[in-house]
C-alpha cells in the first residue's frame, strides 16, 4: 500500500491502478437472486457490500486487526484476502492510532480506506486522527482536501464484555462537524449504507452492532443489486402509526418494533422510525411524524445525558412544540458504566418493556413517573 501511495505522489497516476488491471471484475453472488425476497444476515450484507465496492473501485482497500488471514474478527471480511490480496486487505498490529493515521493519510492522497475497529471502544486510541485529521481537513483546507474514509466496526453493548467494550459512541461522533455518522439496523440498512459510506467523499463513522451480525432479514432484488445504495441523512419509517412516534437506531429499532406490536394489542398504534443516519439527522421525517401523532418516545442504548435522544427532543421542541400533547419520553441506557454481571447488564440497557411503558405514559394510559414518585 505504501508503494501505491508513493506512486500516486510521484507519478500522478491513478492509485491502485495496478491492482485494477490485475483483478477481474467480480460478479457478485447476490446478483443471482430472483425478484422474490430473500433472507440474508447483516454479516452477509456487510461482506457483500465490501466485496462489490472493492471490485468496482480499485482505490478501495480494507485495513484493521485480523481482517485478512483470520477473515475478520466477526467474519465480515471473509474471502476478501483471497480475492483481492494482502495489499488491499491489510492485517495490522494492535495499534489503532497507527493504522488509523495511515488510513487518513492514504485518503488525503486519493485512496478510499475502510478502517475496521474490532470495537469502537478501541477507536478512542485513534480519536485524534478521526476528529482532528479526518473530520476537519476539508473545512480547514477550504475544500482542497477530501478525506474519503470509512471507520467501521461494532458499537454499543454486546453481551458480558464489561464497561470498556460496551460503550455507544453515536452521540460522541455525531457532535463533530465534518463527520457523517451511520447506524444500520437491518441487512438492507447495512448493505445500502455501507455502499453509500464508501462512495462518499467525506469521512464516515459506520456504527454496527455485534449482536445484529447473525440476525437474518428479508431483502428484495433491488437491495441485492450492485447499484443499490441507501441515501445518507434519510430515516426510514419501519412501521406507520397515528398515536405515538418512537425513534430508534441500530439494535433498538428491533426493540421498538416489538414494543409497537405489544402496544397494538392494547389499542395504541405506534409509528416506528429507524433513524439510520445520526449525522446528518433526518429532522424533517421526525417532525412530520410528531405532528401527526402528537407524541414522541426516543430510544437509544447510550447514556442519557447529551445523547441522540436529547438532540431529537430539542429539534421537536424547536420545530413542533405546538403539536405535542404530552411530554417527550426518553429511553436510554443507565447513567453508569456497563456492569459485567448479566443481571445488572440487562438493567443497564433499554428493554422492550421500558419502551412500552414510556409509550403508555405518553398516551396517558398509565401513571406518569413524576406522579408515581
Kindly state which CATH superfamily the domain 38-224 is placed in: Thiamin diphosphate (ThDP)-binding fold, Pyr/PP domains (3.40.50.970)
Tens place of pLDDT per residue across the chain (373 aa): 544 444 443 444 444 433 333 333 333 333 333 345 799 999 999 999 999 999 999 999 999 999 999 999 999 999 999 999 999 999 999 999 999 999 999 999 999 999 999 999 999 999 999 999 999 999 999 999 999 999 999 999 988 888 889 999 999 999 999 999 999 999 999 999 999 999 999 999 999 999 999 999 999 999 999 999 999 999 999 999 999 999 999 999 999 999 999 999 999 999 999 999 999 999 999 999 999 999 999 999 999 999 999 999 999 999 999 999 999 999 999 999 999 999 999 999 999 999 999 999 999 987 555 555 4
CA-to-CA distance for 288 and 298, rounded, in angstroms?
15
For the chain, the structural domain boundaries read: 38-224, 236-363
The dihedrals phi and psi of 89, each to the nearest 5 degrees, come to -130, 95
Q: pTM, whole model, 2 decimals?
A: 0.88
167: annotated active-site residue: no
**CATH architecture, range 236-363:** 3-Layer(aba) Sandwich (3.40)
Considering the candidates 65, 96, 311, 329, report the single residue annotated as catalytic: 96
Q: How far apart are CA 212 and CA 342, in angstroms?
A: 19
C-alpha cell at 114: 475502510
The per-residue b/e assignment along 193-209, b for 16 or more CB within 10 angstroms, e otherwise, is: bbbbbbbbebbbbbbbb
Whether the CB-CB separation of 189 and 276 falls below 8 Å is answered with yes
Q: 236-363: same fold as 38-224?
A: yes
User: Catalytic site residue 65?
Assistant: no
Q: Is the distance from CB of 312 to CB of 277 less than 8 angstroms?
A: no
Enumerate the H helices of the chain as residue ranges: 2-11, 17-22, 42-56, 80-84, 96-108, 127-128, 137-140, 170-174, 187-199, 221-224, 251-265, 283-293, 308-320, 342-348, 352-362, 369-372
The pLDDT value given to residue 92? 97
Catalytic residue among 44, 129, 165, 345: 165
Amino acid at each position: 500500500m505504501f508503494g501505491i501511495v508513493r506512486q500516486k505522489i510521484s507519478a500522478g497516476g491513478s492509485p491502485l491502478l495496478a491492482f485494477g488491471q490485475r483483478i477481474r471484475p467480480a460478479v457478485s453472488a447476490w446478483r443471482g437472486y430472483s425478484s422474490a425476497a430473500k433472507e440474508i444476515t447483516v454479516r452477509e450484507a456487510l461482506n457483500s457490500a465490501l466485496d462489490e465496492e472493492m471490485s468496482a473501485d480499485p482505490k478501495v482497500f480494507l485495513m484493521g486487526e485480523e481482517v485478512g488471514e483470520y477473515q475478520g474478527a466477526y467474519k465480515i471480511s471473509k474471502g476478501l484476502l483471497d480475492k483481492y490480496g494482502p495489499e488491499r486487505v491489510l492485517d495490522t498490529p494492535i495499534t489503532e492510532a497507527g493504522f488509523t493515521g495511515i488510513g487518513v493519510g492514504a485518503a488525503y492522497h486519493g485512496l478510499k480506506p475502510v478502517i475496521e475497529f474490532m470495537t469502537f471502544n478501541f477507536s478512542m486510541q485513534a480519536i485524534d486522527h478521526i476528529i482532528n485529521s479526518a473530520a476537519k481537513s476539508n473545512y480547514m483546507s477550504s475544500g482542497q482536501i477530501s478525506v474519503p474514509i470509512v471507520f467501521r466496526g461494532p458499537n454499543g453493548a454486546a453481551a458480558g464484555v464489561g464497561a470498556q467494550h460496551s460503550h455507544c459512541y453515536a452521540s460522541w461522533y455525531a457532535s463533530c462537524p465534518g463527520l457523517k455518522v451511520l447506524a444500520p439496523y437491518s441487512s438492507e440498512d447495512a448493505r445500502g449504507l455501507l455502499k453509500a459510506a464508501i462512495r462518499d467523499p467525506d469521512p464516515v463513522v459506520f456504527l454496527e452492532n455485534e449482536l445484529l451480525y447473525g440476525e437474518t432479514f428479508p431483502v428484495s432484488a433491488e437491495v441485492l443489486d450492485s447499484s443499490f445504495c441507501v441515501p445518507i441523512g434519510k430515516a426510514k419509517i419501519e412501521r406507520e402509526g397515528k398515536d405515538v412516534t418512537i425513534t430508534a437506531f441500530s439494535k433498538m429499532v428491533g426493540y421498538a418494533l416489538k414494543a409497537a406490536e405489544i402496544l397494538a394489542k392494547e389499542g395504541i398504534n405506534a409509528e416506528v422510525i429507524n433513524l439510520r443516519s445520526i449525522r446528518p439527522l433526518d429532522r424533517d421525517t421526525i417532525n412530520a411524524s410528531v405532528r401527526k401523532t402528537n407524541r414522541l418516545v426516543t430510544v437509544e442504548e447510550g447514556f442519557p445525558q447529551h445523547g441522540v435522544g436529547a438532540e431529537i427532543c430539542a429539534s421537536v421542541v424547536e420545530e413542533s412544540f405546538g403539536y405535542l400533547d404530552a411530554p417527550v419520553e426518553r429511553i436510554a441506557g443507565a447513567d453508569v458504566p456497563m456492569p459485567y454481571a448479566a443481571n445488572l447488564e440487562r438493567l443497564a440497557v433499554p428493554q422492550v418493556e421500558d419502551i412500552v411503558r414510556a409509550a403508555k405514559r405518553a398516551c396517558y394510559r398509565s401513571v406518569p413517573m413524576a406522579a408515581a414518585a
